[in-house]
Amino acid sequence: MLDDLDHLEHLDRLDRLDPLDHLEQCDLDIGGVTVHVWTTPQQEGPAFVLVHGLGVSSTYLGPLAAELAERGRVVLFDLPGFGGTPDPERPFGIEAFASVVAEAAERLKVADAVWLGHSMGAQIVVDAVAHHPGVARAVALASPVVTHGARSVRKQTWAFLKSSARERFSEALLSVQGYLRAGLVWPLEVLPAMLEYRVEERMPALTQHLVLLRGSRDAVTPQSWIEELGAAAGAAASVRLVVVAGASHQLVVGHAGVVARELLELAERAAS
C-alpha cells in the first residue's frame, strides 16, 4: 500500500491554476463526432494517453498531465458529448467511444503509448487497446468499473456517493468542474452502456504491461475487483496491483503524484 506524501502540493496547485493551461487544444472530427484533444508541446520521451470517466471532462486530469509532461508527451481526450463537445446524434456505447479514441490517437500519430483510463475511461481504454493493440505499449486502469454486484443505477449511485463522501474537498472541485461542463442529459444516456459493459471479458485480449490502481477508501472499485481483472489478464506481459492509501474513487486528482510515478515506472518497464 502506498502513501502519497506530497498530495498537498497537488491540491494547492488545483486552487491556483487552470488545470489545463499548460496544454494545447484542438478539435478532431471522428466519424461525425467531435473530440477535444489536449496535448503538451513536449514531443520527447514516452507518450501518455489519458481518458476520463463518466460525466466529466479532462479538466480533473490536469494535475496528472502536468506531472507527466515533465517527462514525455501527454494527450488527453474530451470524449464526444463531454467537456463541451456536442452530444452525438446516435447512441454511443463503450465500443464506440473506444473506436473514436483509437482513431484519434492514430491521427495524432500517437503509437506505442502508455494509456490510462479512469473509472468508465478504464473500460474505454481496455476496449480500444483490445481492438487496436498497436496504440499501446502499456495500460493503466485507475478505479475501473463496474463490479458484478453493482450493475444497476441504484447500486452504482450508492457506491459512488459513499466514495464521494470520502473525497477531500479540494479533490472534488475539479470533478465538479467536469460535471458542470458535461451537463446531465448525455451522461445519463451513456450510463446504461457503462453498467452493461463486461470489462472482465475483454481483459484476456491485453498483452501489454498492465497496472491496476484503486484507492483504499474507494467503495466503487473494491480490492476483489482489481484482483479479478488482474487475474483475467493472463496474456499481459506483466500485471501490477496498486492500492493508494487514503485515496477514494478520484485518486487521479489528489494523488496525482502516486499515479504519475506508477505510469513512469510502467513506461520504463514496457521499454526494457
Binned at pLDDT 50, 70 and 90, residue 43 comes out as: confident
The structure's pTM equals 0.86
Distances (CA, A) of 163 to 13, 159, 166, 188: 23, 6, 5, 19
Q: Which tens digits make up the pLDDT trace of 148-199?
A: 877 766 666 655 665 565 566 555 555 555 555 555 676 788 889 999 999 9
Q: What is the pLDDT of residue 230?
A: 98
Question: What sign does the CA torsion over 176, 171, 62, 133 have?
Answer: negative
Query: Does residue 202 have a pLDDT over 60?
Result: yes
| Cell matching residue 4 | 502519497
Paired with 210 in beta bridges are 139, 239
Sorted by where each begins, the domain ranges of the chain are 2-271
Q: What is the pLDDT of residue 3?
A: 44
One-letter identity of residue 240? R
One-letter identity of residue 170? S
Query: Does residue 122 have a pLDDT over 90?
Result: yes
Q: Is the peptide bond before 146 cis (omega within 30 degrees of 0)?
A: yes
Query: Does residue 16 have a pLDDT over 50?
Result: no
| Cell matching residue 14 | 488545483
Q: Does domain 2-271 have CATH number 3.10.20.90?
A: no
Binned at pLDDT 50, 70 and 90, residue 9 comes out as: very low
Query: Looking at residues 106-131, what average pLDDT do you find?
Result: 96
